[in-house]
Amino acid sequence: MELNKLTIEQAGEGIRKKDFSSVELVSACRDAIARRDGTIHAYLEVFDDALTEARARDKEIAAYGGDARRAMPPLFGIPIAIKDNILIQGKLCTAGSRMLADYTASYDATVIARLKKQGAIFLGRTNMDEFAMGSSTENSAFGPTKNPHDPGRVPGGSSGGSAAAVAADMCLGALGSDTGGSIRQPAAFCGIVGMKPTYGGVSRHGVIPMAASLYQIGPMARTVADTEILFHAIAGQDPHDAVSMEITNHNPPAGGHTTSAGLKGVRVGLPREYFGTGLSPAVEQAIRSAIKVMEDAGAVVREISLPHASLALPTYYIVVPSEVSADLARFDGIRYGGIRNKELGIRNLYDIYAQTRAAGFGPEVKRRIMLGVYALSAGYYDAYYVKAQKVRTLIKEDFENAFEDVDVIAGPTTPTPAFRIGERRSNPLEMYLADIYTVAVNLAGLPALSLPAGFTEQEGSRLPVGLHLIAPRRADQRLFDIARAVEALLLAR
């Protein structure tokens, strides 16, 4: 039995039944990291104290006199990977940037505190696009991550390290962050499940910010059920995050997950705008095949329209840079980071700001800061930012109108399979198009999930394709219920 390839459900049951120990489980993951991560580079740091934590969990199990299967939480003793923009007290947290290369977290993010309460074990920090700005994990200041299915291709981004770690069996689950598809797109590229919660459903306290009105922390795992377990462990209102809230019916029954009621009568909407120009024929074929499986199982599939879908990407790339320019102002070379030195030729306060930000930020971060400052500047604020917010409202209304007639919206997560490393770095617009189906969800604050829908052959590589499911606001549980039923059908094909 290869313990690192177990699901969270299977591993949790095995630990509680004492079929194997948490130490053995963590060791299996660390062995996989030693074998594979030299090529993939999913981790920026593997924590030395993971085995110490595992021993502590095993002692708790041994000392417990009752039925551990009932008493221990679902994530007790389970090794999890954490994206490197989520604070873990006493650990480095760089957000993939030179600006924070020496920054050590002074407290735990709320999601980390909640996972610690469950008894989860943190294996290490995963690589990411700098400050979560990117779709390929090529923007990391510490080198790119590679796709486990083909090391010549990207794993997606910005949570590419987390996705690759799960796909390569180097952890049992992971946390990522999603501002415009940064969980779902790498999940699709790497053939795993990734879920972006309703905006406010998971606290962002202790997460290095990017664009405050859009980003969410979310779970990544091999199965929908595992992803749901992680979600329920971290979800809920937090006094440290003013937009956080309880998600209706988000508490799972005993056992850690709900049971599927099937797809009979579930109304599935297919936006005609998501099946047009730019969609790879191979991806469309895989998605259409998955939709046919859903329809054969009793789902009621109908074509719908999201009239402003074509405006989502340009709207996103006005709103996000505008918020980025404000959110990243705190990284001024004084309060954070260790960039400042004699070689930069700093003579005054202006030099501290200008020189350390020039040295600390990478090209994509600088690009977005400049775009945002321009969009918010006098004479352009109304023409760009205000207009983008008005279009954002129209996009949100499109979804609200659609959900009057359907229970869930389905389509491709990405227009193509994973592209080659370096293929799009010189063309930012082409890179941004990788998120064309995912950004609208963040603009509208909806929950969405990507799950594996099959594979396609590309130049000798067998690459995963992701099915994107979108649910109404606060219908996160509905999303999981439908996704589990779909997953079971697709696995049974």
> E strands, 313-369, where?
none
User: In this structure, are residues 292 and 341 in contact, taking their beta carbons and an 8 Å threshold?
Assistant: no
Q: What is the DSSP letter of 128?
A: -
| Cβ neighbours of residue 223 closer than 8 Å, sequence gap 6 or more | 7, 8, 9, 193, 487
One-letter-per-residue 3-state SS of 415-447: CCCCCECCCCCCCHHHHHHHHCCCHHHHHHCCC
470: which strand partners?
Answer: 409, 448
Q: From the candidates 21, 22, 83, 203, which is the catalytic residue?
A: 83
Structure tokens at 130: 């700098």
- State how beta strands 79-83 and 267-271 pair: unpaired
| 213 CB neighbour count, 10 Å cutoff | 16
The tokens 């991550």 sit on which residue? 145
User: In this structure, are residues 338 and 101 in contact, taking their beta carbons and an 8 Å threshold?
Assistant: yes
> E strands, 28-78, where?
43-46
216: which strand partners?
Answer: 178
Sign of the dihedral defined by the CA atoms of residues 307, 309, 315, 319, in that order: positive
Q: From the candidates 182, 203, 322, 325, which is the catalytic residue?
A: 182
In angstroms, what CA-CA distances link 325 with 101, 209, 352, 365, 381? 20, 11, 18, 9, 13
| Crossing angle of helices 387-402 and 312-327, rounded to 10° | 130
- Catalytic-residue membership of 182: yes
- Catalytic-residue membership of 213: no
CA distance 57 to 69: 14
The amino acid present at 64, given as its one-letter code, is Y
CA distance 376 to 385: 6
- Catalytic-residue membership of 310: no
Q: From the candidates 21, 22, 97, 158, which is the catalytic residue?
A: 158
Exposure letters 297-312 (e unless 16+ CB within 10 A, then b): bebeeeebebebbebb
What are the residue numbers of the active site? 83, 158, 182
